[in-house]
Amino acid sequence: MIGRRGFLKTGAAGLIAGAAGLPPLARAREMPGAVAQSLERLGRGLKGRLVLPDDPAYAYAAMPNNARWSGVLPKAIAACADAEDVRACILWARDNNQPFAVRSGGHSYAGFSTTEGLLIDLKRMNRISLDLTNGTATVQGGANNEDTAGALRAVPFAVPSGRCPTVGVGGLVLGGGWGFAATHAGLTCDNLLSTRVVLADGRQVTASATEEPDLFWAARGGGGGNFGVHTSFTFRLRPVQNVVLFNILWPPGRQIELMSLLQRIQIENATEISTRTKVAPTAGGAFPGRDTLAAQTLGLYWGTESRLREILQPAFSLLAPRVAEINTMQYWTARDALTTDDPTGLYDIRSNYVGERLSDDGLETMLQWMSKWPGGSLRQANMGVLFAIGGAVRDRRPDETAYVHRNSNFLFEMEASWSPLDGPDVIARQRAWLTDYVADMQRFLLPESYVNFPDRELKDWQTAYYGSNLARLRSVKRRYDPDNLFRFPQSIPPAAA
């Protein structure tokens, strides 16, 4: 597999105990008697099951992907079997004035898919049905990328989706949905035809171009957890055949020229090629020197192998690559090769969009900050990554869906990660490094961020995530959730009356 992350993994109970201090499960058991009794009644009515803190499965079921939030322990976890279970949970939270969160894959980088109240877990709802006659796939709200791939790999069709296997399709599509097919076939949300939603008042509705069109507009980029619980999604299938998979790694040197040239290649072949391009250290250790930083690009090309080599020839001529893997293969084989370990463990991720391209001055600043990385137990492989997000994504107007970032060619990501081997001083230095790095890069980037890479430290997050679409999103929120039942630290507030 390409681009695996070297996070130290520990057992679920260990992550929770280490983050919050012992004994965390004892704390989670403490709840008023009336709440405990009402939870018992809720559990008896579910087709799925209610996992309580004394259940042997609780520690694993409660653990979020980002262990920074593993000390946030739910009163109970509802493993929902169907939309009626979801409805019962929403009404329970509303009637008992209890906080809750919804989880499909559990990959909220900022910990928004966990709660000290009721965790509504959809992962059991992972069925996928295909209608090849009409060219559609209907995916339940708890299915993840791997579930979807498993259902589609036997047919010559796909839904543009992400590369991390365990990311929930629901979270992916509601925030937009980047993947290696985006520049060619649009975002995941651009291929959404309809969605079933449980609303704050318990109603179950279908949102599509003809039914609840405002809610459908908001569901395509307005972010998860804002308007209701999405229990299923119906997508348009895209035909797929052979593609060219490439993974090119250059030795250290001429990083700015290479990164600038690779951006130009992407822009000039916007819908035929999709890249994830970065500079990363070739060895571990603090304060990596410029002579250890190497450029890499990987991705897909919809065309012939010979033509791709022609397109990449200027980069090959600039500096001979150390690795140049270029192979034609069936789409699903390529997709499997591009899967990556999800960010797992302890990490912090920030993002900004790039308009036309990241300038040479911006690239120089990026390299300078990479060389200032203060060190830790894990090698930082993703200090500065450019995801291609132009091409077909730009075919729609910024106001055509809630996903507003249609005038960008790239998404720039910066991150830090650490393990239990790193002490508090190491973690503090890493987080300070990332904060200062992000702040210095703002002059080269758009003041826009990807809602699927949420950042609790982002000051003007409403504008950064939603831009000129924010006012309409707030109006949709007021219509479908006027009492603001669906709320979390970065949820969309309803418009004023």
353-365 confidence digits (pLDDT tens): 999 999 999 999 9
Task: Tell me the CA distances in angstroms from 174 to 30, 217, 228, 268, 355, one per residue in order.
Answer: 34, 10, 11, 29, 22
Identify the band that residue 125 occupies on the pLDDT scale cut at 50, 70 and 90.
very high
Task: Tell me the CA distances in angstroms from 104 to 101, 142, 171, 195, 238, one per residue in order.
Answer: 10, 5, 7, 15, 24
pLDDT 10s digits, 189-207: 999 999 999 999 999 999 9
The answer to whether 111 touches 64, Cβ cutoff 8 Å, is yes
Q: CATH 3.30.43.10: which residues of the chain?
A: 12-121
Torsion of CA 8, 69, 147, 410, to 10 degrees: -90
List the end-to-end C-alpha distance of the chain, in Å, as a whole number.
Answer: 52
Identify the band that residue 21 occupies on the pLDDT scale cut at 50, 70 and 90.
very low
Identify the band that residue 497 occupies on the pLDDT scale cut at 50, 70 and 90.
confident
Task: Tell me the CA distances in angstroms from 186 to 145, 271, 328, 457, one per residue in order.
Answer: 16, 9, 22, 29
Identify the band that residue 35 occupies on the pLDDT scale cut at 50, 70 and 90.
confident
Q: CATH 3.40.462.20: which residues of the chain?
A: 242-444
Domain 242-444, CATH: 3.40.462.20
Residue 140: pLDDT over 70: yes
Identify the band that residue 33 occupies on the pLDDT scale cut at 50, 70 and 90.
confident
Pairing of strands 293-301, 242-249: antiparallel
Q: CATH 3.30.465.10: which residues of the chain?
A: 128-239+471-480
Helix %, strand %, coil % of the chain (to 5): 35, 20, 45
Residue 242: pLDDT over 80: yes
Q: What is the pLDDT of residue 29?
A: 53
- Determine whether domain 128-239+471-480 maps to CATH 3.30.465.10: yes
From the options 3.30.43.10, 3.60.15.10, 3.50.50.60, 1.20.210.10, give the CATH code of 12-121. 3.30.43.10
Number of other CB atoms surrounding residue 130 within 10 Å:
17
Residue 310: pLDDT over 90: yes
What tokens does 33 get?
């008697």
Identify the band that residue 31 occupies on the pLDDT scale cut at 50, 70 and 90.
confident
The answer to whether 449 touches 37, Cβ cutoff 8 Å, is no
Q: What is the pLDDT of residue 443?
A: 98
pLDDT 10s digits, 222-240: 999 999 999 999 999 999 9
**64: Cβ–Cβ under 8 A, 6 or more apart, which residues?**
70, 72, 103, 106, 108, 111, 113, 114
**435: Cβ–Cβ under 8 A, 6 or more apart, which residues?**
457
Give residue for tokens 């018992």.
40
Residue 341: pLDDT over 70: no
Identify the band that residue 450 occupies on the pLDDT scale cut at 50, 70 and 90.
very high
- The Cα–Cα gap between 102 and 485 comes to 12
Helix runs in 125-251, H state only: 145-152, 169-174, 182-185, 213-219
Residue 25: pLDDT over 60: no
More confident residue, 24 or 102: 102
The answer to whether 101 touches 85, Cβ cutoff 8 Å, is no
pLDDT 10s digits, 244-288: 999 999 999 999 999 999 999 999 999 999 999 999 999 889 999
pLDDT 10s digits, 207-218: 999 999 999 999
Q: What is the pLDDT of residue 345?
A: 80
The answer to whether 5 touches 344, Cβ cutoff 8 Å, is yes
Q: What is the pLDDT of residue 32?
A: 75
Query: Average model confidence (pLDDT) for the chain?
Result: 92
Residue 7: pLDDT over 80: no
Q: What is the pLDDT of residue 340?
A: 80
pLDDT 10s digits, 470-482: 999 999 999 999 9
Q: Which amino acid belongs to residue 277?
A: T
Residue 285 backbone zone (phi > 0: left; psi -120 to 50: alpha; other: beta): left
Q: What is the pLDDT of residue 469?
A: 98
Name the residue among 188, 307, 185 with its Cα closest to residue 244: 307
User: Omega before 489 cis (within 30°)?
Assistant: no
Residue 6: pLDDT over 80: no
Name the residue among 422, 416, 410 with its Cα closest to residue 372: 416
- The Cα–Cα gap between 283 and 347 comes to 20
Q: Which amino acid belongs to residue 266?
A: Q
The H-or-E segment that residue 43 falls in is helix 33-45
- The Cα–Cα gap between 432 and 386 comes to 22
> Which backbone phi and psi does 300 adopt, to 5 degrees?
-125, 150
Q: What is the pLDDT of residue 27?
A: 46
20-29, 56-65, 189-198: least confidently modelled range: 20-29
